[in-house]
Amino acid sequence: MSTTERPRILVVGGGYVGLYAARRILKKMRYGEATVTVVDPRSYMTYQPFLPEAAAGSISPRHVVVPLRRVLPKAEVLTGRVTTIDQDRKVATVAPLVGEAYELPFDYLVIAMGAVSRTFPIPGLAEQGIGMKGIEEAIGLRNHVLEQLDKADSTTDEDVRRKALTFVFVGGGFAGAETIGEVEDMARDAAKYYTNVKREDMRFILVDAADKILPEVGPKLGAYGKEHLESRGVEIYLSTSMDSCVDGHVVLKNGLEVDSSTIVWTAGVKPNPALARFGLPLGPRGHVDTSEKLQVQGTDYIWAAGDNAQVPDMVGRRAGNPNAWCPPNAQHALRQAKVLGDNVISGMRGFPQKEYSHANKGAVAGLGLHKGVAMIVMGKVKIKLKGRLAWYMHRGYHGMAMPTWNRKIRIFADWTLAVFLKREVVSLGAMETPREEFYEAAKPAPAPAVAAKSEGEKAKAS
């Protein structure tokens, strides 16, 4: 890393907030005013709203991520994890991908570490569950689901077949409803290429502890989303939860028991637990406690935003709700990042800070090809859309929200190609263990059993 005399703005996390905040700071900064350093264990930002489409193969996984070094050429990008912050010395400890951890001094700090899957100590979950927070998981889920069809097509064991064709999704928010919608669509579509697997042989189950799905789009559209998924044969169990899933034997609180090789866990998120080691003020659920100016409470050189921060929702508060907080979503993360970037520049120059305030613009959700729900908020009017039109809104909105024109064009090209070429349904499960076959070929042959030498051979050898 560089050791300059300039002040360092350290951005912890290169996701939505980290990427957009760093871009904003670099855009507004004078030449040589500061060094912007972004630290993230991944070398790319992930556009999470497209993970369900990546899992369904509608978008190439590479197009859902944005390489940080390419979009932030003027920043110093370090691939590693910030493990601790020493506020007295203004030093962060960075654990790089390889090698010893080192200390990185900073003058200004941006905390943008996002959230992680919120799990519970459910027997079997850690071993069987598949999350949906990163591109690796989306690729893994797609390969895994198609591999289950391959298995079911080729086995004569009815129990193995039934288990392979049963897919359980826990959590019916954005991530869960969109993922089951996309994956179900893809899997049933893929069935036409299999001799022994029919569309109706597959069982898709969605479980949620709440009494509704898709709360983000409101009760009416959420109810429509539920009816729509049910009309496609998805079994939805609400107000219930998963008690255990040891070895894929799923037991629900409502008494249902099924065997499944695929358990997808999308039951919400919680702030990054690493925050607990940073010595920052945290709210009751572990978020960094942040003012309406996105400054961490009690500091004037640390800012936080996005899924890891509790940011007051000033629109809600002005409307009379003193406990309104911004929900953890991309809509807020993106807008907060821009205000945060401006405030870092102002803070560095000793100018006043801007308040963050944003009125909800609505929500869009895709539920498979040509299916979706959308709620657009225009002032006091809420426009509710469903079906194909909502799906176009979903694609149009997210396609344009995808960072960089390079990625936007690639995504629209993927969608356009899919109109003419059929959906890709190949499972590349071996990608997860690419060296296995080579290892088998290259490993030393086992020593042959040593046969007792005959007297003649012994004589020849000597």
Ligand X SMILES: Cc1cc2nc3c(=O)[nH]c(=O)nc-3n(C[C@H](O)[C@H](O)[C@H](O)COP(=O)(O)OP(=O)(O)OC[C@H]3O[C@@H](n4cnc5c(N)ncnc54)[C@H](O)[C@@H]3O)c2cc1C
Among 201, 307, 313, 342, binds ligand X (CB under 6 A): 307
Is residue 42 within the footprint of ligand X (CB under 6 A)?
A: yes
**Which tokens hold the place of 311?**
């940011």
Q: Which stretch binds ligand X (CB under 6 A): 42-50, 255-263, 282-290, 446-454?
A: 42-50
For the segment 71-110, give every residue that binds ligand X (CB under 6 A): 81-82
Among 132, 168, 183, 263, binds ligand X (CB under 6 A): 132
Is residue 331 within the footprint of ligand X (CB under 6 A)?
A: yes
CB of 246 to ligand X, least distance (A): 26
Task: Closer to ligand X by CB, 258 or 271: give it.
Answer: 271
The CB-nearest residue to ligand X is 15
Task: Closer to ligand X by CB, 201 or 216: give it.
Answer: 216
Task: Closer to ligand X by CB, 34 or 77: give it.
Answer: 77
Q: How far apart are alpha carbons 182 and 57 in whole angstroms?
A: 9
Is residue 39 within the footprint of ligand X (CB under 6 A)?
A: yes
Report the helix count and the strand count for the chain, using DSSP H and E. 14, 24
Burial track 230-250 (b if 16+ CB lie within 10 A, e otherwise): eebebebbeebbbeebeebeb
Is residue 312 within the footprint of ligand X (CB under 6 A)?
A: no
CA 450 vs. chain centroid, Å, equals: 55
Q: Which stretch binds ligand X (CB under 6 A): 47-55, 220-228, 229-237, 427-435?
A: 47-55
Is residue 218 within the footprint of ligand X (CB under 6 A)?
A: no
State whether residue 396 is helix, strand or coil: helix
Among 8, 9, 10, 12, binds ligand X (CB under 6 A): 12
Is residue 16 within the footprint of ligand X (CB under 6 A)?
A: yes
Is residue 124 within the footprint of ligand X (CB under 6 A)?
A: no
For the segment 347-406, give every residue that binds ligand X (CB under 6 A): none
Q: How far apart are alpha carbons 219 and 16 in whole angstroms?
A: 28
Residues 6+ apart with CB under 8 A from 7: 33, 34, 35, 107, 108, 348
Q: How far apart are alpha carbons 338 and 360 in whole angstroms?
A: 16
Residue 105 host element (H or E):
strand 102-105
Are residues 207 and 168 in contact, defined by beta-carbon separation less than 8 angstroms? yes
Is residue 172 within the footprint of ligand X (CB under 6 A)?
A: no
Question: Residue 396 CB: number of other CB atoms within 10 A?
Answer: 13
Contacting residues toward ligand X, per CB under 6 A: 12-18, 39-42, 48-49, 51-52, 81-82, 112-114, 132-133, 174-175, 272, 274, 306-308, 328-331, 333
